[in-house]
Structure 1
């Protein structure tokens, strides 16, 4: 990549950021498209001056990761509606000094499901988890498709109830929630057309863990797992064996990065190159 005085800069801010795959993915995409843009990683502890620096240095766009996704909202000029409802931002566009916040996590999950041919309209969906990923995915899916019902299950009743209340105020279909127990899980999955897993269970270094016993999975359901390390979790392996349609979390990761690329550049993302880099990094 050739860098000169005309090169624009994008970045990821967070703490830590040393593990981030975003520089490799976005730089490959910018290079493929011949764009004079580079992408770097900044470890940020003090958020306010970092956001001021986006304006002062005229950065083109920024990815926001842990622990700043919620706090950064207070420093932005505008927040896209769904990101505001989700309550967190992971993408910033600098539009002539005006900083606009988006959340590409839910958008990435929604596109991953659509690209896999999953029909959501009229379906009974169970969401496992009530944290940031669950909020992003539940709001994005619920606003995009008229589900029959959405049911939330979580081991944390407080956040789960609050998320259900927030969703119910916005979405035009019934939203239910239950504390996650063996009994509630079995009952909810018996009625479910699709399962969306949004907890860290099954992530490396514990790839043999799962929240869903294989006996509860059945042919005809779809199963999406937001975990992408390992590439195919135990949940997805067992769902595939049961005859379910499966959507791996790496697809969400890929499409959320594609959303960021398209937001910053106004161009269609080169998905083939981005996918190749993601798979090389995760392999």
Structure 2
């Protein structure tokens, strides 16, 4: 049995998070005396201080501190750099490594339940780190992506900056091969980057109705739905039967997007599956940093964590 380690989910609010239940269950299953808890911190300067203490092995980062976590890291994976934010921080020899497993968790989950990204038209709502992490995973899975933001110019500028960063990664043969990626997913990324034209655009919600209607998959990566009365990010009357709709929000009841998607006959899923997928990837990063073996493997970790969270994947 290894040494006791402290791990947390950092954000505000995080009281709804299933992360402690999932992580503590999997560390018990692995025979590790690790403890995972809540770090619900309202103010950014206090969150910054908590990160800088480095009195933990790893953090999962959620809204609104992904950009802050990225800036605090000493090194960053390609996924975190392309997302411009980190949802995982790992302490290795006293230094902080930033990762972003959101896109991997989202796309892997949706693929596992039948969504096809190869050649698909995908709409991603939001222009924050979670949105860009998902955008990158969608492109690597073979999709063309439309990113929606409140301001058209800002959306276009952020997409163009992402395209330049992505092209630089391709030029340097950086294929996002991370600890949590299988050989197959890494190969898929290589093929997508070397053989396909990257098709990504940014527009405002005001200009998106016909584009949403033409989409195969719609992904909302905004925080809308976390507060009572939050609207959907766009006019849900544009949705129709045959589309996949995914809302990254979970644990806050039925969101306006969920209600609209179900009423339109879409295949709808909330963020629970993504939460588990990205959490499994984070666990593998934590184990690697601590030099602990992964005796359960990806599927075993997935099963334990999904059951602990009460999600049927």
Tell me the TM-score normalised to structure 1 length. 0.81
Residue in 1 aligned with 2:240? 218
2:181 equivalent to 1:185: no
2:92 equivalent to 1:83: no
Distance 2:49 2:226 in 1: 34
Residue in 1 aligned with 2:141? 145
Distance 1:132 1:200 in 2: 12
Distance 2:5 2:208 in 1: 49
Q: Aligned with 1:219: secondary structure?
A: coil
How far did residue 67 of structure 1 move?
Answer: 4.2
Matches within 5 A, 1:127-146: 127-142=124-139, 144-146=140-142
Distance 2:2 2:127 in 1: 45
Aligned residues of 2:70 and 2:80 also touching (Cα < 8 A)? no
2:234 equivalent to 1:239: no
Cα pair distance change 1:243/1:49, threshold 3 Å: closer
Cα pair distance change 1:113/1:15, threshold 3 Å: closer
Residue in 2 aligned with 1:118? 115
Aligned residues of 1:116 and 1:247 also touching (Cα < 8 A)? no
Structure 2, unaligned runs of 5 or more: 168-196, 289-293
How far did residue 65 of structure 1 move?
Answer: 3.5
Cα pair distance change 1:133/1:76, threshold 3 Å: closer
Structure 1, unaligned runs of 5 or more: none
Distance 1:146 1:223 in 2: 18
2:170 equivalent to 1:173: no
Q: Aligned with 2:90: secondary structure?
A: strand
Q: Aligned with 1:120: secondary structure?
A: coil
1:140-162 CA distances to partner (integer Å, 9 max, x unpaired)? 322x2222x32122223343122
Cα pair distance change 1:224/1:94, threshold 3 Å: same
Q: Aligned with 1:70: secondary structure?
A: helix
How far did residue 34 of structure 1 move?
Answer: 1.9
Residue in 2 aligned with 1:10? 7
How far did residue 92 of structure 1 move?
Answer: 1.5
Cα pair distance change 1:186/1:30, threshold 3 Å: same
How far did residue 27 of structure 1 move?
Answer: 1.2
Across the aligned residues of Structure 1 and Structure 2, the Cα RMSD in angstroms comes to 2.9
1:35-78 CA distances to partner (integer Å, 9 max, x unpaired)? 22111334564456544432xx4x32222344432233343231
Cα pair distance change 1:42/1:150, threshold 3 Å: closer
Tell me the TM-score normalised to structure 2 length. 0.74
Aligned residues of 1:157 and 1:179 also touching (Cα < 8 A)? yes
How far did residue 14 of structure 1 move?
Answer: 4.2
2:114 equivalent to 1:109: no
1:165-190 CA distances to partner (integer Å, 9 max, x unpaired)? 12332263222222212xx2322123
Cα pair distance change 1:194/1:18, threshold 3 Å: closer
1:85-133 CA distances to partner (integer Å, 9 max, x unpaired)? 1111121222333421101222221222122221111111122222333
Distance 2:263 2:212 in 1: 17
Cα pair distance change 1:126/1:19, threshold 3 Å: closer
Cα pair distance change 1:38/1:262, threshold 3 Å: same
